[in-house]
Amino acid sequence: MKAKINKNYLALSSSLAISKTGDYAHEVVFALIVIELLRENYLLIGVVYFFRFVPFIFFGPIGGWLADRYPLKNTMLYSELLRLVASVSLLFLYEYNALNLVSMIACTLVITVGRSIFQPSFQSCVPKLFRESSLIRINSSFQMIDQIASIAGPLLCSLLIVSVGKQGVLIFDSLTYVVSMAALLMLTQAKAEGSLRPAFSVASIFKETWANVQFLRWHSRDLFASIIGSALCILFTASLLRYVLPAFVIFKGGTEVEVSYIFAALASGTVVGSLLYARFSVIRSPSALMKWWMAYGAVFILLACTINLSISLSYGISFVLGGCGAFVDISIVSLIQALSGKQDIGKNFGLFSTLANTGEAASGLIYGFFALGGVFASFIMMASLISLSAMLMLRNMGRGESPK
């Protein structure tokens, strides 16, 4: 049994590490290609990134439905194959100067569809392949792998661009999907709970998703509050990390190097936070999750005030912010695994993925509204809304929950 567990962990962690490294490298080179192709037309750039998130709305529920009804190993392999085809297509279109706005959006749509299908199956694999007592340690290690990949991916991207150009990064990204699929082949087949495979119907999937939302709302309020509350917090968090934080550093006279130092401190804090979460018996409950979200927003406010005074003093606060982020990320994954029924794990992860990624897509629009009040004011307001949203969800939760 131990050998099988080690084999499964090796397969999942290897797939995650190489696939995420390629994803983070792809994020950087894709942004550069978009800017190059659209000649800094920020309206069209916004259109590309808007369409990039659209598939999560439609394919998130489908990914959860597949995770509950079809073999998880097969689903992950097919989704990686789908992303491989899109990545190779992007490579050839760019190499032969055939890439345009439509083909670029088409490629990124397919990549996002693959990601929408892959995520629920990967997250559903963990409770089906490992003992419940090891879930916190495994979730923490996966979060740490993700953050290490977030550092390694852009670094490799920079080295490849300098040495062989953007095509080299796209080749590397394509190869990561091949290696990821090879790693997944070692995985023990984790079957769906149900023995029957109902016919695929988009209408029935969305009807079932809505029925699941209603069920969670009335019969599993803690899980409902955890998913909805976290998605609401992400609505205000995504733009802070993607746009507001780097923009504010530059606005205060900082350099791009100092921005990279802050994000390096964030990633380092997340790695350490993942280790601490696994090392200590952190209480897992919906109320604890909301309290971590409140702390996350408070530290974000502290970071804004610190940058306003001295950028050099903000690195330590950024490290603490990364640690809080790790506690939030691991808690939400662990709670969905612990509070979901065996036949609904994929469905609930699909629901969370859909809401979270929709929140990320809308976060930029929310920031655009608040930005009218100035960079610092919008920073404080967005960070305050993270804590306020968590506080309101905490007040609406049941009082009788027990720690998990």
Average pLDDT (4-27) is 86
Task: Return the pLDDT at 256.
Answer: 65
237-246 pLDDT per residue, tens? 887 887 778 7
Is there a domain that residue 194 lies in?
Answer: no
Q: How many domains does the chain have?
A: 2
Dist. CA 321–CA 298, nearest whole Å: 9
Do 174 and 323 have their domain in common? no
Is there a domain that residue 318 lies in?
Answer: yes
Task: Return the pLDDT at 42.
Answer: 59
Do 180 and 210 have their domain in common? no
Task: Return the pLDDT at 8.
Answer: 87
Choosing from 152, 187, 222, the residue where a domain stops is 187
Is there a domain that residue 207 lies in?
Answer: yes
Dist. CA 203–CA 223, nearest whole Å: 25
Confidence of residue 402 (pLDDT cuts 50, 70, 90): very low
Is there a domain that residue 214 lies in?
Answer: yes
Amino acid at 228: I
Confidence of residue 47 (pLDDT cuts 50, 70, 90): confident
Structure-token pair, residue 380: 């404080």
Q: Is the pLDDT of residue 22 over 70?
A: yes
Do 156 and 229 have their domain in common? no
Answer whether 187's CB lies under 8 Å from 73's CB. Answer: yes
- pTM of the predicted structure, to 2 decimals: 0.73
Do 167 and 207 have their domain in common? no
**Residue (of 344, 350, 333) closest to 63 by Cα position:** 350
- Would you give the end-to-end CA distance of the chain in angstroms? 25
Do 256 and 394 have their domain in common? yes
- Please give the mean pLDDT across all residues of the chain: 82
205-247 pLDDT per residue, tens? 677 777 777 777 777 778 888 888 898 899 888 878 877 787 7
Do 56 and 153 have their domain in common? yes
Is there a domain that residue 251 lies in?
Answer: yes
Do 135 and 237 have their domain in common? no
Domain of residue 213 covers 202-398
Dist. CA 129–CA 119, nearest whole Å: 16
Residue linked to tokens 């009807």: 207
Is there a domain that residue 235 lies in?
Answer: yes
CATH assignment at residue 299: 1.20.1250.20
Q: Where are the alpha helices (DSSP H) in 130-255?
A: 135-163, 166-184, 202-219, 221-239, 245-251
Residue linked to tokens 């791009």: 256
Dist. CA 260–CA 246, nearest whole Å: 9
Task: Return the pLDDT at 403.
Answer: 42
Do 183 and 103 have their domain in common? yes
Do 41 and 165 have their domain in common? yes
Answer whether 134's CB lies under 8 Å from 338's CB. Answer: no
Choosing from 157, 187, 217, the residue where a domain stops is 187
Choosing from 134, 160, 187, the residue where a domain stops is 187
**Residue (of 134, 149, 128, 123) closest to 278 by Cα position:** 134
348-383 pLDDT per residue, tens? 877 887 788 778 777 767 776 777 777 788 889 989
Do 244 and 183 have their domain in common? no
Do 231 and 98 have their domain in common? no
The contacts of residue 120 (CB under 8 Å, 6+ apart) are: 60, 63, 64, 66, 67, 346, 347, 349, 350, 353
Higher local confidence (pLDDT), 108 or 57: 108
The contacts of residue 79 (CB under 8 Å, 6+ apart) are: 114, 115, 117, 118, 121
Answer whether 87's CB lies under 8 Å from 177's CB. Answer: yes
10 Å Cβ neighbour count for 39?
8
Q: Is the pLDDT of residue 203 over 70?
A: no
Do 137 and 275 have their domain in common? no
Q: How many residues does the chain have?
A: 404
**Residue (of 172, 174, 162, 34) closest to 104 by Cα position:** 34
Q: Is the pLDDT of residue 1 over 60?
A: no
Average pLDDT (58-68) is 81
Is there a domain that residue 319 lies in?
Answer: yes
Is there a domain that residue 195 lies in?
Answer: no
Residue linked to tokens 């192709």: 37
Confidence of residue 177 (pLDDT cuts 50, 70, 90): very high
Average pLDDT (138-153) is 85
